[in-house]
Amino acid sequence: MLKLSRSLLLAALFLGAAALLSCNKPEPSVRPGTLSCQAPAFLSPGDKVALISPSYNTPHSNVEGAAQVLRAWGFEPVVGKNVDEVYLGKYAGTVAQRAEDIRWALEDPSIKAILCNRGGYGTIQLTDVLTPEELAAHPKWLIGFSDITTLHGMEARAGVMSLHATMSSLIVPHEGRDLSSTLLRDLLYGRIPEYTVPAHPQNRPGRASGTLVGGNLCTFSPILGTWADATAADGIILFIEEVGEDMSHIDRLFNVLILNGVLDRCRGIVLGEFTECGANLGFGSVEEMLCSYLKDYDIPVCCGFPAGHGDVNLPLVMGAPVTLDVSAQGATLSFGLPGEKVSVDTEAAEQAAAAERLRAEKPIPSSLELNGGKQGKLVRSIEFLKHYRPLIP
């Protein structure tokens, strides 16, 4: 009898401990089916834009410079109270402080958009702090890239579109006048880019429509299976970019996507910039390596889209319905959003950026001194950059 009672007691203790552990364990993320995201309201002159730092700290001079650019664009900048905080040497404050600034920017009804100052690392720490309900309750344009990819995933799962685009730390050096910045400005005012991308040897032809998700590979692959995972949705167009990773690491993360069924849910792939990613494994480029896997999928693939950590980072509307059309002549990427459409030739944009760099290094001769070819293209690119200045309403 004593032996039986002891056995019952041990069994009860075991079941109690198991129940306690199961209560503390977060529930697994539920796959969302097809994403349906709303576009936040576009901005008007005088609207407030919050400047926050959800990841690493950035010098206050960058924040001040970005505020000046926003004023020049016709907006009123407001700065989160914790952007100057430094925690553990790099973070812009503790997790609680960074979440506080995000909540402030979301909940203040006078703030219409949120510009992140820089990426780095740390937004993954916010996935158990912020909720989809509070993001859905305050739909606003959240802007950034790199580590901000986590927030884009969270916004998409909450049913809100966001902007994968340049940030304060990169707007300031160009004083907001480079094409990456002016296209962001125009998007906030409701002008929607329609991109034309030149042909690429690794492209795979086809046409597909779906919801644009993704971003920095090292950032969105660790959140697979969480509530912030936008790649869990069906019918997606997946955008991927990376910086400073060698091919073996990119190969490993891409296989994580394959093993989790992400590519089975893709209707198309857009490969962006792979900046400073070392070549190994016998491939000549990251695009060649990734397309060696993608040949097994009957979906269009666009390579070389200038977004990510390169000199040109053209804005993308994450969570938006997009159409990707890839042919032997090149590719187009268009957004199914209402608003004035702006045609953007990405090849001309990259040439313009190269010309701007060259002009910064040394004076450019007049077109009379050039004989066409690449030099002539540089001059035409400079003119493209100089005259692409849509007026602010």
The residue length of the chain stands at 393
| pLDDT score recorded for residue 278 | 84
Percent of the chain with pLDDT over 90: 79
Given 155, 164, 200, 241, the catalytic residue: 241
| pLDDT score recorded for residue 29 | 53
User: What does the buried/exposed string (b/e) look like for 83-94 if buried means 16 or more CB atoms within 10 Å of the residue's CB?
Assistant: bebebeeebbbe
What number is the average pLDDT over the span 331-351? 95
Q: At what angle do helices 346-361 and 179-188 cross, to 10 degrees?
A: 130
Contacts of 237 (CB under 8 A, 6+ apart): 208, 209, 210, 211, 212, 213, 266, 267, 268, 269, 270, 322, 324
Lowest-confidence range among 7-16, 110-119, 192-201?
7-16
Contacts of 389 (CB under 8 A, 6+ apart): 182
Q: How do the domains of the chain map onto residue ranges? A: 48-173
Active site residue 27: no
Q: Are 340 and 190 in contact (CB under 8 A)?
A: yes
Q: What is the pLDDT of residues 138-182, one digit of tens each?
A: 999 999 999 999 999 999 999 999 999 999 999 999 999 999 999
Q: Is the pLDDT of residue 371 over 90?
A: no
CATH architecture for residues 48-173: 3-Layer(aba) Sandwich (3.40)
Q: Is 107 helix (H, G, I), strand (E, B) or coil?
A: helix
Q: Is the pLDDT of residue 295 over 60?
A: yes
What number is the average pLDDT over the span 268-288? 94
Q: How confident is the model at residue 361 (pLDDT cuts 50, 70, 90)?
A: low
pLDDT: which is higher, 26 or 114: 114
Q: How confident is the model at residue 21 (pLDDT cuts 50, 70, 90)?
A: very low
Closest CA to 140 of 100, 180, 87, 104: 104
Q: Are 390 and 186 in contact (CB under 8 A)?
A: yes
Active site residue 22: no
Given 146, 168, 221, 381, the catalytic residue: 146
d(C-alpha 333, C-alpha 172), whole Å: 28
Active site residue 241: yes
pLDDT: which is higher, 222 or 361: 222
Given 152, 164, 200, 309, the catalytic residue: 309
Average pLDDT, the chain: 88
Q: How confident is the model at residue 30 (pLDDT cuts 50, 70, 90)?
A: low
Closest CA to 332 of 205, 234, 156: 205
| pLDDT score recorded for residue 321 | 98
| HSE, side-chain direction, 13 A CA sphere, residue 152 | 32
Percent of the chain with pLDDT over 70: 84
Q: Is the pLDDT of residue 379 over 80?
A: no
* Total-model pTM: 0.85
What number is the average pLDDT over the span 311-324? 97
| pLDDT score recorded for residue 354 | 84
pLDDT: which is higher, 143 or 7: 143
